[in-house]
Amino acid sequence: MRLKVVLLGEGRVGKTSILFRYIRNEFQEKQQSTLQASYMDKRIKVGSVDAQLSVWDTAGQERFHALGPIYYRDADGALLVYDITNSESFTKVRKWVKELRKIVGNDINIVIAGNKIDLERNRQVSEAEVLEYAKSVGASHFYTSAKQNLGLEECFNELATKMVAQN
């Protein structure tokens, strides 16, 4: 079973870093912003089901508000990433949830990742606010760090479980 997951969120929140850490177990302090829009595959087992996740990353178009629906309209799931040290990036998550529900439909599986949890001392987004919001839209929420490799398996396992259950 092949499942498409898109990474979405404001520029610089760590989407590309999450992709490289999750698939290749690599991290770069100076992640290139000009990578091509592309995807990487990962095989994952959900119970007895063999799933192949295609995880799509943007080429940085989100920085110019130029990310078209062609990128996400056939997605089975979305990992919406914000940076816990940047409250605006969490506001952007709310916009993405609305956009996805409108364009892809209410069935899209959404997991929210509060990235850069290694920088918790600079936290700008309150946990209570995030948990309440995630609950209100029926999404799971995890804290992640692409830098320290925290929470990423949990995010993708949760998404895969939801997507497999739906297919």
Taking CB under 6 A as the rule, does residue 118 contact ligand GDP? Answer: yes
Segment interacting with Mg ion (CB under 5 A) among 10-18, 42-50, 76-84, 93-101: 10-18
| 96 φ, ψ (degrees, to nearest 5) | -65, -35
Beta strands 109-115; 140-143: pairing state: parallel
Which residues, numbered 128-157, are part of the site for ligand GDP (CB under 6 A)? 145-147
- Of residues 57 and 164, the one with the C-beta less far from Mg ion: 57
Distance of CA 105 to the CA centre of its chain: 17
Taking CB under 6 A as the rule, does residue 31 contact ligand GDP? Answer: yes
Which of 65, 125, 128, 127 lies closest to 99 in space, CA to CA? 65
Q: How many residues belong to the site for ligand GDP (CB under 6 A)? A: 20
Taking CB under 5 A as the rule, does residue 16 contact Mg ion? Answer: yes
Among 23, 59, 119, 137, binds ligand GDP (CB under 6 A): 119
Q: Which residues contact 44 (CB under 8 A, 6 or more apart)?
A: 51, 52, 53, 156, 157, 160
Least separation in angstroms between residue 17's CB and Mg ion is 8
Q: Which residues contact 153 (CB under 8 A, 6 or more apart)?
A: 22
Distance CA 112, CA 80 (A): 5
- Of residues 29 and 107, the one with the C-beta less far from ligand GDP: 29
Binding site for ligand GDP (CB under 6 A): 9, 11-17, 28-31, 33, 115-116, 118-119, 145-147
